[in-house]
Amino acid sequence: MKRRRFTYDEWYANLPQKRFCQQRIDNPFFHGMVRLICMDKVEEPIRWNFQNDNILIGDDGMKWLALLPDKEYYVISALINQKDEIILWYIDMIADSGLDEDGIVYYDDLYLDLVVYPDGKIYMDDMDELKEAFNQKDISEELFQLALNTCENLKLGLLADKKQLMKVSKACLQEMLRVI
């Protein structure tokens, strides 16, 4: 498993001018930790090829919002364009999370992801990586099942109501924009 930090340190070389804010949010829609990265200046636009679609996910003026709900095993990342419109959500299934020694949220990525578009399309991503990790005994059967169950629960719950997902994301974005 890879340990990820809310700062997305691996992207820093390409983001020479950025603003980062992390804080706890407790509002009617969400309880947990939230992070916002505002990309003020990007060295080179960041593109992601997915499902034969070349998606711009990082450029001057774009934002990455991450939501880590209390007592859940997923992190929702909303990729947001310059008009504050959500391009897509990328949801990581996770094994654990916490705060590291410098107070930054971390999470242990369980390979399996969901990609959710505002029009309602949902795609599973990296199932092959999850299966390979299990087959090579990098993760236990318990963690393998946790990833699958979390994915299924998301599809039947939060992702079954895209309006609610949008409402939660927008409410958290507005709170974070007030403090960054």
Report the pLDDT averaged over residues 56-83: 96
The predicted structure's pLDDT at residue 100: 95
pLDDT above 70 (res 24) = yes
* Tally of domains in the chain: 1
- Top mean pLDDT of 4-8, 32-36, 43-47 is at 32-36
Which residue range is the domain that position 127 belongs to? 2-179
Instruction: State how far the Cα of 97 lies from the Cα of 78, in Å rounded to an integer.
Output: 19
Place of tokens 């990455």: 64
Instruction: Say what the pLDDT of residue 177 is.
Output: 96
R_g (Cα) of the chain, nearest Å:
16
Task: Give yes or no for a contact between 144 and 6, defined as CB atoms under 8 angstroms apart.
Answer: no
CATH at residue 161: 2.40.380
Q: What is the pLDDT of residues 139-168, one digit of tens each?
A: 999 999 999 999 999 999 999 999 999 999
The whole-number pLDDT of residue 53 equals: 86
Largest pairwise CA distance in the chain: 46
pLDDT tens-digit map of 80-125 = 999 999 999 999 999 999 999 999 999 999 999 999 999 989 999 9
Which residue, 89, 57, 94, is CA-closest to 73? 94
What pLDDT does residue 50 have?
87
Task: Give the pLDDT of residue 14.
Answer: 74
